[in-house]
Amino acid sequence: MMNKPFEYFAPKSAGEAVSLLKKHGSSARLLAGGQSLVPLMNLGLAAPRQIIDLTRIKKKKDPLSYVTANNDSLMIGSMTTHSEVERSRLIRKHCLILSETAATIADVQVRNRGTIGGSVCHADPAGDYLAPLVAIDAEFRAINSRMKGRTISADKFFRDMFTTALKQDELLTEIRVPRQNRPRRGSAYVKHKYVEGGFAIVGAAAVVSLNKDGSCDRVSVVLSGVRATPLRLGEIEKGFHGKSLDERAIEEAGQLAYEEVREPLSDIHATSDYRREMSRIYTKRAIRLAAARAGARETKKKEEG
């Protein structure tokens, strides 16, 4: 139950929203889909004195909900809902991993209200978008109360549990992701959850690029749910260049993940040991699926069953 009163503002433009943020300082909070903020307020874990509702911003004049593309990237407005990310034809074609990720979030009701921008700004360590966005080298565009824009790379955006690089008067406007549908490149997100529609105990995002001869050019794996911020598995990135991504290599990658994920988070849903073991398993699954999508022969056969 919400037991603290608050002032409600419904700005008509992004500029008005950031001016309100500046005016009210740290006691104000932006409201996007409300699927994280409102539960926190209901539980008494957040008590903003001002709520600045982004849903009333004029869609034609100042859109924050859109998906567009240029030759290199997709641009996704911060107020784009999980359902829109899941169903967007542009995202499905050029960045399948993001549609796949959105589809794993909660249930239809939450996906219809929750937004990609709200999700990354909330920066829950178990949030699903975090690992894939870091793995595909996404960038975040923000504006401040002087209407100055800046770009923050996903690697630098997540600072701590529920903490991002955004300043108090900044609004996230857009997420840019490099197009992923390149020849011999595949990506995948898989997650281990404690109930259907639940948060990730461990989420693994993998991006695999193959050379023309079928050997591995690059493999990146980022995990969510194991640390306060997404964990990029550097040993895997270093270890497979020029090698064949066969089952033996994938087993080796799983072991590297297990070794790199030292002392992961522990909570009522899963112990550290369990998360560590799941990191091994889900790293292997993510690489296997990404490699099959990139066209690796052995993994493709295995994925096809």
Ligand X SMILES: Cc1cc2nc3c(=O)[nH]c(=O)nc-3n(C[C@H](O)[C@H](O)[C@H](O)COP(=O)(O)OP(=O)(O)OC[C@H]3O[C@@H](n4cnc5c(N)ncnc54)[C@H](O)[C@@H]3O)c2cc1C
Which residue ranges make up the site for ligand X (CB under 6 A)?
A: 29-37, 39, 78, 105-106, 110, 114-115, 117-119, 121-122, 127-128, 166, 171-172, 198-199
Cβ at position 40, least distance to ligand X in Å: 8
Q: Which residues of 145-156 are buried (b: 16+ CB within 10 A; e: fewer)?
A: beeeeeebebee
Hey, which residues does 29 pair with through a beta bridge?
Answer: 51
Select 171 or 292, whichever has its Cβ closest to ligand X. Answer: 171
Nearer Cβ to ligand X (30/226): 30
Q: Which is nearer to ligand X, 34 or 186 (CB)?
A: 34
Measured from the CB atom, is 29 or 232 closer to ligand X? 29
CB of 33 to ligand X, least distance (A): 3
Query: From the CB of 275, what's the least distance to ligand X, in Å?
Result: 16
Helices (H), 52-123: 82-87, 89-94, 96-103, 108-113, 116-122
Cβ neighbours of residue 249 closer than 8 Å, sequence gap 6 or more: 216, 240, 243
Beta bridge partners of 142: 150, 172
| Minimum CB distance to ligand X smaller for 30 or for 292 | 30
Q: Are 82 and 111 in contact (CB under 8 A)?
A: yes
Instruction: Please list, in sequence order, all residues whose beta carbon lies within 8 angstroms of the beta carbon of residue 129, skipping any fewer than 6 positions away.
Output: 98, 101, 102, 116, 119, 120
Q: Least CB distance from residue 258 to ligand X, whole Å?
A: 24
**Cβ neighbours of residue 63 closer than 8 Å, sequence gap 6 or more:** 77
- Min CB(244)–ligand X separation in Å: 34
Q: Pick the closer one to ligand X by CB: 41 or 219.
A: 41
Is 133 strand, coil or helix?
helix
Say which amino acid occupies 101.
Answer: T
Q: Please identify, using beta-carbon distances, which residue of 122 and 284 lies nearer to ligand X.
A: 122
CA distance linking residue 11 with residue 296, whole number of Å: 50
Q: Least distance from C-beta 257 to ligand X, angstroms?
A: 21
Among residues 144, 145, 110, 141, the alpha carbon closest in space to that of 128 is found at: 110
Would you say 206 and 286 are in contact if contact means Cβ atoms under 8 Å apart?
yes
CB of 133 to ligand X, least distance (A): 11
